[in-house]
Amino acid sequence: MSKKNRTGVVYSTNPDFDYQADEPSEAETLPPAQQNLKIWLVKLGGNKVVTAVRGFVGTNADLAELGKQLKAACGAGGSTKDDEILIQGDHRDKILAWLTSKNYKAKKAGG
């Protein structure tokens, strides 16, 4: 571990001192039935529309895997970032049907 990441400790006279980093741990991935996903339609600049899936509780690897499966199911591109899945285009109905078939608790949100 780099010494630059240590904050709050200047010097210790204890020879058995072991610095504990305050690193946030990733949340453990909940099973699909306990996920509470919301499907949003987001309009970006330039008249572009994306479907956003928010509310996933779990690791970034599992979020990326779910995003990959949703992109394949919709036949569209997209990305996973900032704890949400973005799919290019308006695919709310397809995503809702796919998620409910995989036992996820999901619903449409927003206007």
C-alpha 39/C-alpha 85 separation (Å) is 9
* 6-64 pLDDT tens trace: 666 667 788 887 776 666 666 788 888 899 999 999 998 888 999 999 999 999 999 99
Per-residue model confidence (pLDDT) at position 62: 93
CA 22 to chain centre: 22
Which CATH class name applies to 29-108?
alpha beta
Beta-carbon-side half-sphere exposure of residue 21 (alpha carbons within 13 Å): 9
Q: CA 85 to CA 54: how far, in whole Å?
A: 7
Tell me what pLDDT residue 11 has: 72
Name the β-bridge partners of 73. none
Q: Which residue matches tokens 């204890």?
A: 14
pLDDT at res. 6: 60
> What pLDDT score was predicted for residue 21?
65
Distance between terminal CA atoms of the chain?
47
